Structure 1
């Protein structure tokens, strides 16, 4: 790579995010934390004043969240935080089960020993975080996203990322069920055991079972 290309790439990597993307991330986190609850109306004037911005970047941010399924735009009524229906949950979990079980099978076949150890290390962290629900959520997501990175299919990664955003709207309900964290951990142990034995069929099956159980807990 020549010097000019190197400078161009460096400049691109340092370019600030557009304002609407920053606002979208702020709203996304407020939705995930339940500060903005499902079904609630999003007061654009109040938020624009709070963030010290015009309504234009705010509306652009809401469009982004609408494409992700986190916000629902209603004609002449404005934007609302999406309420996830039973049908929505079933559809999302079904697709996640297909996509992530396929990725898990790929990882069992193609991952290096070092990459399997990375996943094992994340699982070990998960084992230690059962007393902290938010920490459990965080490590659990890191495990799944790292598995997808190792499987290395950017189209699948994008689809899963969008689906997981919708799933997060209901995630608190799923793990609040008595004993669900322990069940989820046991399912992760089974996934790791299959990965460590390099058995793609069993790994995919265990991941499918993990999402099936997750849906039952979330419904």
Structure 2
């Protein structure tokens, strides 16, 4: 499919983001410009502009004389990012509890019903999509564009690893319980409780990723 000329490099950047997040372009993989330009049916100029955008976001890294590669999120990156994300998304939950209308809570109920159905059916990809939509809804309800902007940048980085944590043993059910705790606080208009529950949720995501890393190392150890 040929991309339209309007804001072409933004469209290209979005297409590449989707391929990175889906795993089609894997962490550490080389981004072959001629191949990508042919696949997207565009010239190299908008492709290079798109790669600059993704580099600024941290999804891509540029190595002099070698080209661009899909970035790899390190354990140190996750250790640095998750505490900040927990603080910021916790604040969003606090604000959302104060701002949410009855209609907003009803919309969140629909999303949580989906979340529960996907958890019961063990549909991890669908669960992750509903989980992502819930976080986005809470950020929107907070109605703070500065929070939303910073969280958006950080979430692009951890999204490379976040889906993985749902594969940890027992994590799917734990995640669901954490989400329901946040939602219960939102329904009660308990701002402090919603903030605390969201911080717990993000902290446990990081713990699940760390445990997965340990298990992976244990399997490859001689």
TM-score (norm 2): 0.88
> Secondary structure, in 3 states, of the residue corresponding to 2:68?
strand
**Alpha-carbon distance in 1 for matches of 2:7, 2:95:** 36
Provide the secondary structure at the position in 2 that maps to 1:79: strand
Q: 1:68-123 deviations in whole A, cap 9, x for unaligned?
A: 11101111111010000111112221121111100101111222122122212211
User: Are residues 96 and 197 of structure 1, via their aligned partners in 2, closer, same or farther at CA, if it must alter by over 3 Å?
Assistant: same
Number of the residue aligned with 1:66 = 55
C-alpha deviations, 1:105-159, integer Å up to 9, x for none? Answer: 1111222122122212211111111221111111111111111111101111111
Could you list the runs of 5+ residues in structure 2 that have no partner in the other structure? 211-222
Asked whether 1:184 is paired with 2:175, we answer yes
Counterpart selection for 1:147 from 132, 138, 145: 138
Which piece of structure 1 moves more, 122-131 or 202-211? Answer: 122-131
Residue 77 of structure 1 aligns with which residue? Answer: 66
Cα distance change, pair 24–139 in 1 and its aligned pair in 2 (3 A)? same
Does 2:97 match 1:96? Answer: no
State the TM-score, normalized to the length of structure 1: 0.89
Residue by residue, what CA displacement relative to the aligned partner does 1:54-78 show, whole Å, maximum 9, x if unpaired? Answer: 1111100101111111101111111
User: Please, which runs of 5 or more residues in structure 1 have no aligned partner?
Assistant: 1-14
Report the secondary structure of 1:176's partner residue.
coil
What is aligned with 1:4?
none
